[in-house]
Structure 1
Amino acid sequence: MNRRTAVLALVLGAAIGVLSGIYLRLVHFLQHLLWHGTESRLPLPDSLGILAVCVGGGLLVGVLRHRHDRDAPHDLEDALVELDRLVGAEGAPKPAPRVEWLLRAALLGVVSLAAGASLGPEAPLLVLAMGLGQRAARMMRITNSEAAYLSAAGALSGLFGGPLGSVMLPVERSASPLQATRMLGAGIVASIAGLVAMFAVLPNGDGLRYALPDAGVDTGWDLLVALEWAALAAVPATFAGFALLAGTAPLRALAERWMPSTVVRAMAGGLVLALCGIASPLTLFSGEHQGQDLLDTLEDRSVLALLALVALKLIATLACLATGWFGGQIFPAIFAGMAAGLMVAAAFPAATVTAVFAAGAGAAGAAVLRRPLAVTLFLLFFFPAPALLAVVTGAGVATLIISLLGDRAPEPTSMDPSAH
């Protein structure tokens, strides 16, 4: 990496980090206007308030998608497919997305997240960052591949609290790994710049660090036992991730066939989201903050209650993904995985709570994203050091199950948006 490349990575990463921080501040501001925790701020009874916000949000989502549904991104997998295409692009560069397309995609994400969608901000941020990077490529005299990679690294670094996962995401499972690997050095510079810049705009960041109970690991034998519990918890968490993958494309096709109107479809998704939120408020929003609430109330939850929570979270997420709401599925999958992992602790009091909680997160994230290394690096920010071996164990078990199932394992699918 020469000096010019390092400087450009620094500048682009910092600029994208600032814009990402502003984007997240806007989302937080609107969420605060509409919600107090998981309760609506509207002057209505709790259930009616949730219905009004979620269905009203669906109305706005549908209006934004009207006449532009086919060329608008749907979820994180769409964004990752586009990122991989850009990073590995050869020959004539693809035209940069139009400004109005970027504004519509950004607004679609803001509305979805503010209205309580069971989705994360990573997909809108990634789409926005790549689009802005492409538009800056010619001015900075860099290729579209470099612009997309550096922009993605700068945007996701602040969101996930560190540079490692964001630079690995475009490399792992890439169709052009050599091309992506050549940009790793510049990607780290852009990631660090994006992280610092985002924290300048959003001092408390967008995530949190889970406060876990003492793992009670004092000896090597204790560690071995904890990892055994982690491996056991990773199994239901992996299949929770599979359920999310298996349901996304069929339910989207079903929703489009039964409800051709984008407005009606998105409002129906908001209705299902609201009903899930009324049944269990923890199913609203992306899930990373709700994970701490889930852990803190574990003593009040049975195995069946946790299983029902996993099902409700998956239903809420699938309802959003299938009906046009825009966001990412990493955080909802991780929440479902943590709840599935805690089922082991609820069933077996001797289980190590910290281990099963962390392993569930790693397993579900790896099952959905199919990038176990990137998922593990992302989760470094959310889990304290004693839990990291359990995260690795969970991701490893999920990867093993995927390998054993082969073609029978559900695969991530993309609607593959058309040219902008």
Structure 2
Amino acid sequence: MVTDAPSPAPPPDDPRTPLRVLLPQILPAVVVGVSAGLFYLGITELSDQLKDVVWETLPGALGIGGYSSLWMLTVLTVTGIAVGLVVWKVPGHAGPDPASTGLQGAPLAPPVIPGLLVASTLALAGGVSLGPENPVIAANVALAYWLGRKVAPAAPGALWVVLATSATIGALFGTPVAAALVISEALTHRPTGQGSLWDRLFAPLVAAGAGAMTTSLLTDFTFDMSLPQVTEPGWGDLFAAMVVATAAALFGVLSCYAFPHVHRAFRRLRHPMLMLPVGGLVLGLLGTLGGPLTLFKGLEQIKDLASNIGGWSSGDLAKMTVVKLAALLIAASCGFRGGRIFPAVFVGFAFGLFAQALVPEIPPAVAVSAGVLGVLLATTRQGWVSLFTAAVLAPQPELFPLLCLASLPAWLIVTGRPQLELDDSGASLR
């Protein structure tokens, strides 16, 4: 259930001078940004603590391997049962179908949020191949919208939506740049004549910066995978980036075509206590096939891949790439609550390492950046965010022109194709 609130967008133009409009927005933007960052860190810490209990403490006490095939099957099936109970019994049913939700949307009603957070925390801890981004953004947006309307009823409701969205994206990525890119793409669908772009981005950037600084100061997480530097990239590197990005985009688009069919198959089970346990069982089987690196949201697992470049065979990397993408499709189709961006980053990273294993002459930084770029373009259809994410994994200024050019043939592959998101009828968005 959602309210009748407007979709995320900056507030309309104000007849006063820009300075008088922007200055009063600083304080609420900072408050929302810090609060969103703390909220994200709280959910992450809770899920990590539960994850340690499930995957280390319990199997250790039972004297079995924490990532044995039997334990992976058991934990993921039990996770499906637990999340199914939340979706079935908790008021609000943990929000709308996650297959039809993206990073932005209308605020959920506050009673929906507890169930959504419980369901997503259980999924994160249980090893489901989804990230925290969609549920945490939805929760922060709902809370900011509800509190903002009470504290400052004269302020446009859309202001609280865009501040909370920007703040959470800033916290998730550890930088306000990602939020600026997301909001900028959203603004392209808005009519002109509402002030300059930077006027409209001012408050969202303040919120995103506050959220990013909150997580940066309280954690040591970074997207930089410390990949070997590329010195003086040349024409061969450009060609490799274009080929890998295009191939990764094709691979990602295949999952988008499969998504509505997998979703429809689970919907035939009709009840969350069938869809989610069956989905958990399938995810457990995939985990036994792909190994523990194919579990969870994928960001920590990327570090394991990056720390052992050259230590994985092309067959191992191909298997992990396919298994992780299949796990993402299953998790998003059967009703687990979570986001699809972070697991898609793992898919692109593993795809790039697979390409590099086949052609060792390709620098790892070029291969994985191009792989992430292609998969994200296919699954999110957000060009700037895909470029940004690919670039921060290997933050080398020399690579950015290569990635910009590599995005062009990849974009020709994905534009107009189905996305990894469905509408309310179960049809693919394009």
Q: Normalising to structure 2: TM-score of the pair?
A: 0.83
Asked if residue 7 in structure 1 is aligned to residue 27 in structure 2, the reply is yes
Query: Which among 405, 409, 421 is matched to residue 413 of structure 1?
Result: 421
263, 288, 293: which one aligns with 1:252: 263
User: Given the superposition, is the C-alpha separation of residues 77 and 171 from structure 1 closer, same or farther in structure 2, using an over 3 Å criterion?
Assistant: farther
Q: In structure 1, what is the Cα distance between the partners aligned to 2:342 and 2:211?
A: 21
Deviation at 1:299, TM superposition (A): 2.6
Q: Give, in angstroms, the shift of residue 229 of structure 1.
A: 1.0
Identity across the alignment (%): 25
- Give the whole-Å Cα distance in 1 for the aligned partners of 2:59 and 2:377: 33
- Residues 78 and 143 from structure 1, CA distance in 2 versus in 1: closer, same or farther, beyond 3 angstroms? same
**Matching of residue 176 in structure 1 with residue 155 in structure 2:** no
Relative distance call for 1:296 and 1:184 in structure 2 (3 A) is same
Range moving further from structure 2, 120-129 or 2-11? 2-11
Q: Deviations along 1:31-79, whole A, 9 cap, x unmatched?
A: 2222259x96562342222122111111111111116787723448613
Gap change, CA 1:195 and 1:27, over 3 Å in 2: same
Change (3 A) 1:393 1:70: farther
Of the candidates 283, 287, 308, which is equivalent to residue 298 of structure 2? 287
Equivalences for 1:12-411 in 2 at 5 Å?
12-36=32-56, 43=62, 44-45=64-65, 46-66=68-88, 72-75=95-98, 78-80=101-103, 82=105, 86=106, 97-138=108-149, 139-141=151-153, 142-173=155-186, 175-176=189-190, 178=192, 181=197, 183-200=200-217, 202-205=218-221, 207-215=222-230, 217-218=231-232, 222-257=233-268, 259-279=269-289, 280-386=291-397, 387-403=399-415, 406=416, 409-411=417-419
Q: Distance in 2 between matches of 1:384 and 1:130?
A: 30
Distance 2:177 2:99 in 1: 19
The structural deviation recorded for 1:120 is 1.0
- The separation in 2 between residues aligned to 1:9 and 1:333, in whole angstroms, is 30
- CA distance in 2 between counterparts of 1:2 and 1:347 reads 53
Normalising by the residue count of structure 1, what TM-score does the alignment of the two structures yield? Answer: 0.85
Contact 2:94 2:117 in 1 (8 A): no
Letter in 2 for 1:162: T
Of stretches 110-119 and 303-312 in structure 1, the one that deviates more from structure 2 is 303-312
Aligned partner of 1:213: which letter? P
Amino acid at match of 1:410: P
What number of residue pairs does the alignment pair up? 393
Instruction: Give yes or no for contact 1:238–1:337 (8 Å, CA) kept in 2.
Output: no
User: Alpha-carbon deviation of 1:191?
Assistant: 0.6
Deviates more, 1:45-54 or 1:184-193: 45-54
Q: Give the drift of 1:351.
A: 1.8
Structure 2 equivalent of residue 91 of structure 1: none
CA distance in 1, matches of 2:266, 2:235: 46
- What is the rounded CA distance, in whole Å, between the counterparts of 1:303 and 1:237 in structure 2? 15
- Structure 2 unaligned residues grouped into runs of 5+: 1-20, 426-430
CA RMSD in angstroms comes to 2.7
Instruction: Output the CA distance in 2 between the equivalents of 1:177 and 1:399.
Output: 25
Question: Aligned partner of 1:50: which letter?
Answer: M
Deviations 1:253-283 (A, max 9, x none): 11111x2221121111111111221222221
Quote the Cα distance in structure 2 between the aligned partners of 1:312 and 1:411: 19
Partners of 1:230 and 1:40 lie apart in 2 by 43
Post-superposition Cα deviations, 1:356-377, rounded to whole Å, max 9, x if no partner, equal 1111111111221111112223
Large movers: runs of 4+ above 6 Å: 68-71
- Hey, what's the Cα distance between the residues in 2 that align with 1:214 and 1:375? 21
Map of 1:90 onto structure 2: none
Question: 1:194-218, CA deviations, whole angstroms, 9 ceiling, x for partnerless residues?
Answer: 1122345x4224x442021232x23
Evaluate the alpha carbon distance shift between residue 70 and residue 100 of structure 1 in structure 2; reply closer, same or farther with a 3 A threshold.
closer
**Separation of aligned partners in 2, 1:260 and 1:325:** 14
Change (3 A) 1:328 1:116: same
Shift of 1:301: 3.5
Task: Indicate the larger mover: 345-354 or 41-50.
Answer: 41-50
Q: Any idea what the Cα deviations from partners look like across 1:144-198, whole Å, max 9, x if unmatched?
A: 2111100011111011010011132133156436579553111111111111223
Residues 229 and 352 in structure 1, CA contact (< 8 A), matched pair in contact too:
no
- Alpha-carbon deviation of 1:415? 4.3
Comparing 124-133 with 338-347, greater Cα deviation is found at 338-347
Moved more, 294-303 or 310-319: 294-303
- What 5-or-longer segments of structure 1 have no aligned partner? 87-95
The separation in 2 between residues aligned to 1:380 and 1:165, in whole angstroms, is 11
Distance between the aligned counterparts of 1:100 and 1:213, measured in 2?
48
